[in-house]
A and B are shown apart, each in its own frame.
Chain A
Amino acid sequence: MTRTDGGFAGKVLRVDLSTGKTSTQDTREKYGAVLGGTGLGYQVLWEEVPPGTGPFDLGNKLIFATGVLAGTSVPCNGRTAITTIFPSCWPKALVGSGHMGGQFAAKLKYAGYDAVIVEGRAERPVWLFIRDGRVELRDASRLWGSGIHRATLEISQEMGADCCVAAIGQAGEKLAPLATVVNSLSHSAGGVGGVMGAKNLKAIGVQGSGGLRIAGDKEQWERLIKFHLSILGANNQHVVPSFPTPQSEYYNPGSRWVGQPGKRWGAADPPVEITGSIHDMNRISYRTNSAAFFLGEQAWKHTVRGNGCTACPIRCHTTLKVPAMATKYGTREIAQGTCIALNFGQFFFPTLPGGPKGQAALEACMLGMDMADDMGIWSNYGQIQRDFIKLAKDGVFKAKLGSAEYASIPWDKWRAGDPAFLQDLIPRIGERRGELGLVLSEGSGGPFGHWGISEETWEADHGTLYWKMGHPKHHANEDDGQCGVIINTQYNRDAQCHSHTNFVRNGLPLAEQKRLAGELWGSPDSVDSPGHYTRMNKHKAQRARWALVRKELHDCLGVCNWMGPWVASPLKERGYRGDNSLESRLYSLATGHTLDREGLDRVGMRVFTLHRALTMRDMGVLDMRAKHDLVPRWVYEDSSGAQPFTPGTIRMDRDDMALAMEMFYETMGWDKATGAPTGETYDRLGLAEVGKGMAARQLVPETRHEP
């Protein structure tokens, strides 16, 4: 590694669990072209994991990779991508990544590693000890069968209180496709826990005293970091508060910026009042309260504080204290989470007394957070809960579970909206107990595969929010018209892309959004009002490309796509502009290796295209348009009969979406008919070897793309 490569830890650690041998590679030498994160994961899979490898096969690999900016003071970093052949991808498992925040990424880098590649399978349960240069496989037999809380405690007793542990719970041990890897209490990577379990790897404990060099001038770096802080909004880069305030021209009741002066962290001891300027740099952490956003005003009195990833001031996880949990359920009073994981418990109930912001919802969420993140269960972005409700209501459980098992489930509690129901249900799923536990923990592919339910029935039911390949939509047309649909076609699991939705939900009035959009993507017409969509145009295709490429880039840099990109800001004096070149400025100064925005985005494009190639190779399919980039029929329907492009519907038009996909393929340098990257595009992106490999498999389209 050359002296100018600041930011990187420098080494990739390889651990062969079959032989117990470990080795290292130079990060930049071997993986410099793909930077890190998902890029590194995709390259390993391309080079080392042949098509047809199953997720739990010996030949599958699990690549924990963070990025160059992780572990620094760049706001909103701390992300680790875990790339593998993804178990819940149905019917055929393909490349996918889970993502987790917390402290793992930073600690791994301080230990000297940008990534850990886990190969093979241990004969007996082991855990991986990493302390700086010292790497060992230690016996995990006493931990096997324990939840993540206990595993973390015991490993920390061995390693030291400042270590970070990424562990699986019972779900991963039992190879559930819907199993997570969890670090730092509530930071979970979806879908990949079972791969760890299949390798008999219980946990990775990492501890490091090293550091990362910032190549650039430290005063310049400090100024850039402070600039980044100054353009931050609240969670999901919402740049407008949810309340009218003298300090802002705009407000948006739907904003995640809920920290209004006058509110307080009620369960802090003594409570912490929110005071002062909402733009104060020493008050950024008070802007966001995810629990209050999802569970309503009642959450404030239970809020201990915010929590989250290394170096992120946003603290999108909320630490909640609810004394009733101990008395009513015998569980911990304190739990922590955000977003879908925070809601894990309440989403199983079609109704709850008091509604989604009442006491029962709060208690259900506390139970869900605690149990799901201890047993290591993934929600498949809320799909497991929707599947559960549908299977119950449609009578499928009754038909398929066998009378003894069905009778053993306390359905009365479920119907009554009693959170205690979860104390029966969640362990079934986590331990894969019974037919219900086994099937549901597979994801939507479970009922499809085991119970003969057709995927079409899921696609036809608007309530399932099912998209394709066993996973749901994730910010599709309900948020962002054609851009959202395009984005949701591209991965082998739910898209996990927030670049687009962070912008359209930022809270600015439409005129301001359109003005910014014009600057960013060439035309104000690249953005519509939600549910008032206009026909496809090439600027929307450019925005979809930007969203995907930038998300992939974030996943390679170790920064958070739930916050970035930072193209809008709360600052009136900047015209509410953020900085579309922020990532490249940070990258250049940290590494000493200058890349402008286009240069860095090209790396993101390279990585995203590699994902495309990997998917095509492992599917054995050239016609991605027909076989992979699928859109469920509900996208083209509206139950009240509203027509596309009228205000008040998210219904899209088939011809318009066909044009959208074509425009998107064109802007990507992919063949319009098939959506397959052309040979010329592979070459242009520095993927010539990949292009050759694809051509050898007849997976490069004959027609050449004209740029």
Chain B
Amino acid sequence: MSPEKKARLTEAAAQVVLQASREGRLTTQEDVLEALAAGGSFHQTEGQADADDIRQTPTEEAAAAALAGVLAGHPGIASFQGLSGETLYHAPDLLSRTFARILDRKDSPLLLMAEEIRTNSRDYPRPVPVELFEAPPFDLAPEEIGHVLQAMATDPDYQDISFTTAPTGAVYLFSTLHLERGYAAFLALRAESLSANP
């Protein structure tokens, strides 16, 4: 593919990803190709010169082959391997990496919760209130959350996920991989008492 074609393809593909990110969506390569095709960005056959030489657009096949490389090279675009195994693209300045991963796991409540609990326990570090998962963007119903916690309790891969109950009755979830139980309990109580410590 000529440099001009590649540049145009890169720009067009990036715009698709950026727009999707603006709208809060992740993008697959297929999404990009569909959008570009719908936008008339491809030619039917390779090598057929146009009357207008400025329209340097590739065929869909050529674009598909080049797409991964083109997007990987774009500084404003990040990618990761989603749960489905597909590569997912987003613009981190419009759709943060954290949020992108939450979106990817939306259909898998167990993974959604587990990863969030583990990340919070590791990075901040802190346990998370169970209500977090009822609120957007998780939007899980209390029953769903209950099922997930039950499933985790018996699944060997999730034995690290645990909970602590603050004296107020609030339940906080944490991962023992990253937080000791005593410390998690302390942090849960601290979180509950922040509004009493103005």
Contact = CB atoms under 8 A, between A and B. Distances in A.
**A–B contact (CB under 8 angstroms):** yes
Nearest to A509: B123
Contact of A343 (B138, B190, B198): B198
A511 B24 CA distance: 27
Interface stretch (B11-19, B69-77, B177-185): B177-185
Interface in A503-553: 509-511, 529-532
B82 to A, nearest CB: 16
Contacts of B129: 253
Interface string B96-109: 11110010000000
Nearest to A475: B197
A583 interface: no
B183 A532 contact: yes
B124 A531 contact: no
B191 interface: yes
Q: How large is the interface on A (under 10, 10 to 19, 20 to 34, 35 or more residues)?
A: 35 or more
Given A509-B123, A510-B125, A243 B183 contact: no
A252 interface: yes
A51 to B, nearest CB: 34
A128 to B, nearest CB: 32
Contacts of B168: 355
Contacts of B51: none
Listed residue (A511, A531, A532, A648) with the most chain B CB atoms within 10 angstroms of its CB? A648
A406 interface: no
A253 B128 contact: yes
A244 B124 contact: no
A105 B75 CA distance: 48
Contacts of B196: 356
Contacts of A529: 125
A501 to B, nearest CB: 9
A647 B183 contact: yes
Interface in B10-56: 21, 24
B102 A244 contact: yes
A648 B168 CA distance: 18
Contacts of B182: 642, 646-648
Contact of A294 (B24, B137, B195): B195
A246 B135 contact: no
A479 interface: yes
A478 B197 contact: yes
Interface of B: 21, 24, 92-99, 102, 123-126, 128-129, 132, 135-138, 168, 180, 182-183, 185-187, 190-191, 194-198
26 contacts: A243-B135, A243-B136, A244-B98, A244-B102, A244-B136, A244-B137, A244-B138, A245-B96, A246-B99, A250-B98, A251-B98, A252-B124, A252-B126, A253-B191, A254-B126, A260-B136, A262-B136, A294-B195, A339-B198, A355-B168, A478-B190, A531-B183, A531-B186, A531-B187, A646-B182, A648-B186
Given A252-B126, A531-B186, 16 more contacts: A244-B102, A244-B136, A246-B24, A246-B96, A248-B99, A249-B98, A250-B98, A254-B191, A475-B197, A478-B197, A511-B123, A530-B187, A531-B190, A572-B93, A647-B182, A647-B183
